[in-house]
Structure formats: structure tokens, C-alpha cells
Amino acid sequence: MKLQEFYELAIQAGIDADPRGRRCVEAELQDVRRAYEELKTEDRSTFDPEKLKNPYADSRILQGNAEREVKTVLAGIDIETPEILLADRLNEKGSGIDLVVAHHPEGRAYANFYEVMKMQADILNRFGVPINVAESQLGSRMKEVERSLLPVNHTRPVDAARLLDIPLICLHTPADNMVARHLQALFDRESPARLKDIITILKTIPEYQESLRNNAGPRILLGSDDQRTGKIFVDMTGGTSGSKDTLEKLAQSGVGTIVGMHMSEDHRKEAEKHHLHVVIAGHISSDTLGLNLLLDQIEEKAALSVIACSGFKRFTRRV
């Protein structure tokens, strides 16, 4: 398939897996289109046209000809300049890498990745947090993340890829949507009664089995084995961690256990204050699961040769 098709398949898969539902996502895109129509001519020259059809600011083709044929990809969780050099070296040895796939955003997709955080408000609302409260608490957190990105030299790996003529793409929220949907559906179906049952379920998944072998397996962060789970919220998409203040509202709305990739110490203390249980599935392992599910869906169109690097390991669920 061509690079453009690869990219579009990934974005559409992400929309299909979006916890908000496709209708909500399409409404957001329509709002963006209306805002674009109202822009002055001089402002349109710097507008990113991908925003008209891709709701995820953290996922873009960063470098390369969109018409290039893609058969072999180098995929990793974090792709920086060393991984671009690795791709170039592997190609010198005959690997034939057509595309480097990063999970975490780079380049212009990293500079404003905080924009995807607004989706958290609708997700929280689906778990019982009033939308006005969710949006208000999230707004200040988004500004905090935006400020943290201002000094970052975010184009380094993209520049390296350009100089070596290696196509580069990043797929962040689409993959995170995939793992969030997969695990939420799994827990909804299996209804684990106690925290230890969540860990038992996670241990059946190849990506988490691999993380256990690397001493980074799932663990209970707040709570104990035999404590009951209550309502389970899989919190694994939406850019990065939201406002810690929202944890109180989640507890009040009836959530008993949060299953996440990771949690800061400030968020942990706030969750503990409001008697929330927290299970950390693992960051890189959860990212790996999401990227694997996404690649499986892309490969329904055409088979790919996938070379794994940078924390990623390929597990396929395609029959």
C-alpha cells in the first residue's frame, strides 16, 4: 500500500475505536471545518489542512512522499534520531525499510499534541463527570502541558529522517484508542470482582507477559489483592494525564478502579485521598498493545513486514 493509504487507515481505525464514538468525532471535525471557512485568507496559509479530516493532532506523516509504496516498516514506541540512524544502517544491510513508524509524537505532531487532550472531557462525561466540570478542570491542565512544550526542540528526529530520506510517521492517539477500547471491552465482559482478578486478566495478554519478563509488569498501585474493583475505568487515551482534580469527580460518579498506563505521584496521592483503586498495566506494554492492534487492522488491507525496535515487540492477532 502507499504511505497515504497507511496513514488514512490508521486514522480511521483510531476514529472507530475512539471512546467518544464516531458521531462525536465527526461533530468535532465539522466544527473545525466551519472554523476554517471563517478564517481570513492570510491565516489559511499556516492552517494545517490535516485538521479537516484527522481529529488527532499527535498523529501525522512527518516526512516522506505520500505516494511511496510501503511493504516493510520499522516500528517503535519512541523514535528519535538514533532510531532513524538505525533504520538507515539496517537499510545498508538490506532490510528494505520503506517507513519508520513512531508511536509517541514527534515534530509538529509533538508541538501541539496537547490539543487531543480535549477529548478527555467527553470520555469523563461518559463515566458520569458533568461535562462543564470536566471541561473546566481540563482547560487549565491543557495550558500547563502547552507551556511545557514551548522550549522543546521537537523537529530533531524529523530533520534526521529528511536528511536521510527516510519516511516517518507517528500514530499516537489512534493506537491509544485501540488499547483503551480493547481493555475496556475485556473488563466489561469478564467483570473482574477483585483487583487481583484484573492483574490475572492482564497476565493473559502477550504484551503484558513480555513486560513481566522485563520486570515492568502490571501492578496494583492503590489497593490490595482482595479489594473489590467496583466500576472500572480504563484511562489510556487522550494525549497525556489530565487534571488530578478530576479524580474526585470520578470517585463521586461511581468509579471504583482506574486501570492506566502510568500515574504521577501527585495524581496517585489525589486518587488515594478519594479512595480510588489504581492498577498500572504498564506504559510501554500498553503502548505496544495499542500499536499491535492498530497494525493488525492496517494489515487487513495488505500484509506488511514489521521490524520492531525501541521498546516495541510485534504480536499479531490476525488469523
In contact, 207 and 286? CB cutoff 8 Å: yes
Say which CATH topology domain 179-282 has.
3.40.1390
Domain chopping of the chain, boundaries: 3-173+286-309, 179-282
pLDDT digits (tens, 9 = 90+) for 189-248: 999 999 999 999 999 999 999 999 999 999 999 999 999 999 999 999 999 999 999 999
Residues contacting residue 171 through CB under 8 Å, at least 6 positions apart: 10, 14, 59, 101, 102, 103, 291, 294
pLDDT digits (tens, 9 = 90+) for 60-101: 999 999 999 999 999 999 999 999 999 999 999 999 999 999
For range 156-162, the mean pLDDT: 98
C-alpha cell belonging to residue 238: 487522550
In contact, 187 and 234? CB cutoff 8 Å: yes
For range 136-152, the mean pLDDT: 95
CA-wise closest residue to 13 among 170, 174, 169: 174
Instruction: Calculate the CA 128 to chain-centre distance.
Output: 23
pLDDT digits (tens, 9 = 90+) for 8-17: 999 999 999 9
pLDDT digits (tens, 9 = 90+) for 24-52: 999 999 999 999 999 998 899 999 999 99
Instruction: Flag whether pLDDT at 147 surpasses 70.
Output: yes
Distance CA 4, CA 273 (A): 47
Instruction: Flag whether pLDDT at 5 surpasses 90.
Output: yes
In contact, 31 and 194? CB cutoff 8 Å: no
pLDDT at res. 181: 98
Distance CA 225, CA 220 (A): 8
How would you classify residue 9: left for phi > 0, otherwise alpha for psi between -120 and 50, otherwise beta?
alpha
Instruction: Flag whether pLDDT at 318 surpasses 80.
Output: no
